[in-house]
Structure 1
Amino acid sequence: MFQLLLPFFLLALSLFTLTIIWRIKARKFISSTTVASAYDAWTEDKLLERLWGEHIHLGFYPLNKRNIDFRNAKVQFVHELVKWSGLDTLPKGSRILDVGCGIGGSSRILAKNYGFNVTGITISPAQVKRARDLTPLGLNCNFQVMDALDLKFEDGSFDAIWSVEAGAHMIDKSKFADEMLRTLRPGGYLALADWNSRDLRAYPPSFFEKLVLKQLLEQWVHPNFISINEFGDILRTNKNSAGKVVCENWNTYTNPSWYDSIIEGIRRPFTILSLGPLALIKSIREIPTILLMNWAFRKGLMEFGVYKCRG
C-alpha cells in the first residue's frame, strides 16, 4: 500500500513546495564557477552525504533484484561499469583518472577493490577536502581541484579514464571528450556514464517537455543536454579515439534511484533534522526536480548513457 500511495504523496508534497522553490534563486549554469559553488554548498551542508553516503550518482538495480538498498545499488553501479567497460582487465597499479570524482566514492572503490592508482579531479574545493578526509591512509587515491575542460596532465598519462555523471555540467562536450582522450594512453580504456536527453533534433520536445528540461537545467547547474548518439559521435570522431565506441542506455537499471533518493529522507528523517531546520527546507526543495527527473527518464525524454572505448 505504501508503494502505491508514495507517488501521490510525493506529488502533493512537491506541489506544496513549488511556491517555495519559485522564490528561491535557481542554480543556473553561468560558468564552471557556478558548478563549483553549487557542489561546494552541497558538500558543506552534508545533507547529500548523510542521506546517500559517499556516492552522489545513481545506483544499479539488476532486473531480477530490484529491492536492494539505495547505497548498495550505488556501489553496485561502480562494479557494473568497471566490468562492462573492461577496466577489470587492467593490472593492479594501473593509473586511473576519475573526472568529476565528487567526494571520492568511486575512486576509493577503484583503488581498494581493483588495486588501481587513482587520481580524482573535481571543480569543487569542498569536494576535494572531503574526499581527502574520507580516504584512509595508504589507499592509492589523490584528489585535486581541476577543471575537466583544462586537464593539467601530459598526453597519455593514464591507463584508463573514468567519469560518472560529470559531462552534463560541461558546456563544451567536444572539449570534455578531447581532454579525457588526450590524457588516455594509446590502448587505454575510457569508461563514462552520463545524463543525456533523447535526440532533440530528430524528436523536438513538446511545450511541456521544454518546461521540464528548463527545470532540470536551471536547478542543477546544467548548461545543456545532448543525446547518447551525439556524444558517441563526438568520441568516435576524436583523433585520439581508436574509433570503436560502444554506447548503451541504462535507464532500465538506474531508474529506481529517483524514488529511492527521496525515500532515503523518509527512512532517515532524523538525519535531516539533525542538520537543522534549514536542511529540511533544502531537502524539500529538491523533491520536485527529482520527480521531474524520474518522469523524464521513464518517458524517454532523458536517457542514462554509458560509453566505452579504447584510446
Structure 2
Amino acid sequence: MFTAIAGVYDLNYDDWTNDGILEFYWGEHIHLGHYGSPPRKKDFLKAKSDFVHEMVRWGGLDKLPSSTTVLDVGCGIGGSSRILARDYGFAVTGITLSPQQVRRAQELTSPEVNAHFQVDDALALSFPDASFDVVWSIEAGPHMPDKAQFARELLRVLKPGGILIVADWNQRDDRQVPLNFWEKPVMRQLLDQWSHPAFSSIEGFSELLEATGLVAGEVTTADWTAETLPSWLDSIWQGIVRPAGIVRFGMIGLIKSLREVPTFLLMRLAFGAGLCRFGMFRAVHANVPTSEMLSTQTGDRLTCPP
C-alpha cells in the first residue's frame, strides 16, 4: 500500500518509537526547536513547543477560526497536532507511515483533544481533493524521494483559499553556489546516516510548489537557520543533563544515543556553515479546482530542482 516511500521512511521509526529513547530525550516533538531571533538560551523541550507556536504565527494560522481543519503530514507521535487542536481549537488529522507512531500518538492524546491519527503515505494521500483548510508539515520533506509529487499531494488535499505551511531541512541551492569538494561528502554522509534520499533547496521546493499551478501568487519563504541552530548541540547536551536516561535504558540505550552524536555534530557544522538551511514555506491554494489543474499536467512529470 505504501510503496511510494516505504523503502525510504525506514522501519527504524517503529523501533525508535517502541524503545522510547527518542521520546525521552526529544519529548513529543521530533523536530528542532525555536530559540528566538537572535537565539537565546532556552530549555530544549520548551524550544520545540515554542517552534509550533512560532510557526502558527508566521503562517497566520492564529487568525483562523476554531474548528479549522488541519492535516499534519509527518505527524510523528503527534506533538504538533495536539498543540494545534488544544491551543487553537483546530480539528487535526495527523498522518505518518509508522504504525507505532500512530499508536503512541493515540496513547498521548486525551479524548477531549480533537486530534486523530492514521497511517498514510504522504506521496499518495488517501484523502479526496480539497479536504482541509490547512496542510501543515514539519521536517517531512527530506524523507520524500519525489519532491514534486510531495508538493502536488500537499496542495491537492488543500481547499481553494486554504493555507499550506511547511518547515524543512534544506540544502543550499547549488545552482547558485555549487557544493565544493568537502561539502559533497558531508552532504552524502548526512543523507546516508538517516536514510534521506535528498534535501531540496528553499528555492527549488518553492518552484515545485508554484509549478503545480495550485498556488495563488508566489510562495512565501523564510530562513530559520539561526533560530533553530542551537537545537543540534542541545540535543547532545540532553544526554548529560538527563542522566536518568542511562538508568532507564541501560547500556544499549547509551550506545544507541552515542551513535547519533557524530551526525548531530555534522548537522550543526552543515547548518552553521551555510551548507544546509532551515526553510519555511507558506502558500495559499488558488481558487481553481484541484483535479482540473492537475489533470492538465498528466504525463508532464515535474523534476525536482536542487
After TM superposition, is the score higher than 0.5?
yes
> Structure 1 residues 243 and 259 mapped into 2: Cα distance closer, same or farther (>3 Å)?
same
- The equivalent residue for 2:163 is 189
Q: Are residues 1:124 and 2:98 paired?
A: yes
Equivalent pairs, count: 282
- Contact 1:237–1:243, Cα closer than 8 Å, also in 2: no
1:246-261 matches, within 5 Å, as: 246-261=220-235
1:54-203 matches, within 5 Å, as: 54-63=28-37, 66-203=40-177
Query: Take 1:205 and 1:64, find their aligned partners in 2: how far apart are those partners?
Result: 28
Q: Give the letter for the 2:197 counterpart.
A: P
- Contact 2:67–2:91, Cα closer than 8 Å, also in 1: yes
Query: Take 2:180 and 2:110, find their aligned partners in 1: how far apart are those partners?
Result: 49
Q: Give the letter for the 2:117 counterpart.
A: F
Q: CA deviation at 1:76?
A: 0.5
- Give the 3-state SS of the residue equivalent to 2:9 in structure 1: helix
Q: Give the letter for the 1:206 counterpart.
A: N
Query: Take 1:243 and 1:269, find their aligned partners in 2: how far apart are those partners?
Result: 50
- Contact 2:10–2:195, Cα closer than 8 Å, also in 1: no
Query: Take 1:218 and 1:95, find their aligned partners in 2: how far apart are those partners?
Result: 36
- The equivalent residue for 1:221 is 195
Query: Take 2:14 and 2:254, find their aligned partners in 1: how far apart are those partners?
Result: 18
CA deviations 1:135-154 (Å, max 9, x no partner) are 00121011000110000001
| TM-score normalized with structure 1 length | 0.88
Deviates more, 1:48-57 or 1:195-204: 195-204
Query: Take 1:45 and 1:33, find their aligned partners in 2: how far apart are those partners?
Result: 21
Query: Take 1:243 and 1:99, find their aligned partners in 2: how far apart are those partners?
Result: 23
Q: Give the letter for the 2:255 counterpart.
A: I
Query: Take 2:38 and 2:228, find their aligned partners in 1: how far apart are those partners?
Result: 13
Q: Which has the higher helix share?
A: 1
> Structure 1 residues 153 and 174 mapped into 2: Cα distance closer, same or farther (>3 Å)?
same
Q: CA deviation at 1:87?
A: 1.1
Query: Take 1:79 and 1:185, find their aligned partners in 2: how far apart are those partners?
Result: 23
- Give the 3-state SS of the residue equivalent to 1:282 in structure 2: helix
- Contact 1:36–1:125, Cα closer than 8 Å, also in 2: no
CA deviations 1:203-246 (Å, max 9, x no partner) are 22122211111111011110011210000111122222113210
Query: Take 1:231 and 1:302, find their aligned partners in 2: how far apart are those partners?
Result: 14
- Contact 2:39–2:226, Cα closer than 8 Å, also in 1: no
User: 4+ residue runs of structure 1 moved beyond 2 angstroms?
Assistant: 30-34
Deviates more, 1:90-99 or 1:56-65: 56-65
Q: Give the letter for the 1:154 counterpart.
A: P
Q: Are residues 1:280 and 2:244 paired?
A: no
- The equivalent residue for 1:292 is 266
- Contact 2:161–2:284, Cα closer than 8 Å, also in 1: yes
Query: Take 1:306 and 1:126, find their aligned partners in 2: how far apart are those partners?
Result: 28
- Give the 3-state SS of the residue equivalent to 2:101 in structure 1: helix
Q: CA deviation at 1:276?
A: 2.0
Q: CA deviation at 1:42?
A: 1.3
Query: Take 1:64 and 1:149, find their aligned partners in 2: how far apart are those partners?
Result: 36
Q: Give the letter for the 2:94 counterpart.
A: G
Q: CA deviation at 1:65?
A: 5.8
> Structure 1 residues 31 and 310 mapped into 2: Cα distance closer, same or farther (>3 Å)?
closer
Q: CA deviation at 1:31?
A: 4.7
CA RMSD in angstroms, aligned pairs only: 1.3
Query: Take 1:243 and 1:183, find their aligned partners in 2: how far apart are those partners?
Result: 18
> Structure 1 residues 272 and 242 mapped into 2: Cα distance closer, same or farther (>3 Å)?
farther
Deviates more, 1:265-274 or 1:122-131: 265-274
- Give the 3-state SS of the residue equivalent to 1:118 in structure 2: strand
| TM-score normalized with structure 2 length | 0.90
Q: CA deviation at 1:89?
A: 1.4
Query: Take 1:107 and 1:124, find their aligned partners in 2: how far apart are those partners?
Result: 16
- The equivalent residue for 1:306 is 280
- The equivalent residue for 2:216 is 242
- Contact 1:159–1:184, Cα closer than 8 Å, also in 2: yes
Q: CA deviation at 1:64?
A: 5.1
Query: Take 1:181 and 1:112, find their aligned partners in 2: how far apart are those partners?
Result: 25
